Amino acid sequence: MLDTFDAIRRDIDQRLLHAMRDRHAPMHTPVVVTADADARIMVLRDYCPQTRALRFHTDARAPKARLIGAGAPVGVLFYDKPAKIQLRCRGTGRIEATGPVADAAWAQSSRFARRCYLGEGPGAVAEWPTSGLPPECEGVEPDEAALLPARANFAVLIVTLTTIDWFHLAHTGHRRAIIEQGEGRWVAP
């Protein structure tokens, strides 16, 4: 049982660092919620413990990208079922479609992942079930030349956390702590 704020901060950092590196980690795919109460599962791509910043990849044409823009409230919900640890996070999100962070994220992505940004924009209406990808990209890994137009549609969502609500479910009694601006306080579950 974690009983100090320092131990909880270390636990949070270890879980999120593990989640960004291991696609099988329980917290790898959190729920991300925008100010319009729209929620979606996203893949955690990076976490910086020093700045408490999360990074996700997104389509620059997505409605959430317009809503978040240069700064808007964002919630992120992580859950580790085996450990019974929930992290309810709040922060400020921003979309970066250009610049060194977006460029590095694009370069580090696989060609299969980058292929997603070749298709129709998120929410485009279709007459039949579709991936939205161009037919020549269905089921194949495009070469770098074919991926050039996709870069214009790629962006990153950076969420700088201001509050982390750490919740541990336990049959002996749940525990909950709020970490806000680096300071901790215990609250009733």
pLDDT for res 33 = 97
At 38, phi and psi to the nearest 5? -85, 130
Report in angstroms the alpha-carbon separations of 18 from 34, 68, 77, 111, 123: 24, 26, 16, 24, 32
Look at residue 175 in the predicted model and tell me its pLDDT. 94
pLDDT reported for residue 73 = 97
Q: Which two tokens stand for residue 124?
A: 């485009």
Report residues of the chain scoring pLDDT below 70.
none
Structural domains of the chain, ranges and CATH numbers in brackets = 5-110+152-186 (2.30.110.10)
Q: Tell me what pLDDT residue 99 has.
A: 97
Paired strand residues for 54: 47, 159
Residue type, 187: V
Q: Tell me, what's the pLDDT at 171?
A: 87
pLDDT at 3: 87
Q: Is 146 helix (H, G, I), strand (E, B) or coil?
A: helix
CA angle 116, 151, 60 (to 5 degrees): 75
CA distance 78 to 144: 34
Euclidean distance between CA atoms 119 and 131, whole angstroms: 8
Listed in sequence order, the residues at least 6 apart from 149 whose beta carbon sits closer than 8 Å to its beta carbon are: 118
CA–CA distance, 92 with 53 (Å, rounded to integer) = 9
* Contact of 157 with 34, CB cutoff 8 Å: no
Annotate 12-46 with b (16+ C-beta within 10 A) or e (fewer).
beebbbbbbeeeebbbbebebbbeeeeeeebebbb
